[in-house]
Structure 1
């Protein structure tokens, strides 16, 4: 994954935004409605680390909040539309 704040393109296709495996798991959890506290327990990370990754992903996707982050992830096909709980498109993970 590059250090660019914006590794994502405004128009799809899948793979236009590359996430780390940790970010992918966090995004799946956020999309499923998990809180930072719950994700920190499940992923064995601090809640501050979870919030950091949410902020980084929100910046990449130009999303002002978690709801917008999830919406943009679906629009950009980072999250698959054929799975529940939400799953990341494999091509988007570094």
Structure 2
């Protein structure tokens, strides 16, 4: 497996959640679409925010773009494949 960009690795669930957050989806909508509880969504957002030292969702998405975790060439946002475990 190649080294992920910046050394960041996310689970497939975290990748889908990050894509949804970047698209502007609420925890409620993500929970319905991903069949996870909203508490689980919020937990993963907190874990990713801590990992990227982001104080809120906007900062999480911004950091993910700057660190090339999220691709800049697609909408809705997609995570770079090499950052998924």
> Normalising by structure 1, what TM-score?
0.85
Greater share of helix residues, 1 or 2? 2
Unaligned regions of 5+ residues in structure 2, if any?
Answer: none
2:77 corresponds, among 66, 86, 92, to 86
**Deviant stretches of 4+, over 3 Å:** none
Separation in structure 2 between the aligned mates of residue 14 and residue 65 of structure 1, nearest angstrom: 22
Unaligned regions of 5+ residues in structure 1, if any?
Answer: 1-12
The aligned residue for residue 64 of structure 1 is 55
1:44 corresponds, among 10, 18, 35, to 35
Separation in structure 1 between the aligned mates of residue 63 and residue 18 of structure 2, nearest angstrom: 11
Matched pairs, number: 82
Separation in structure 1 between the aligned mates of residue 54 and residue 37 of structure 2, nearest angstrom: 22
State the Cα distance separating 1:16 from its structure 2 match: 1.7
Query: What is the root-mean-square deviation in Å for CA atoms of aligned residues?
Result: 1.0
> Normalising by structure 2, what TM-score?
0.94
Contact 1:15 1:91 (C-alpha < 8 Å) held by counterparts: no
Does 2:25 correspond to 1:34? Answer: yes
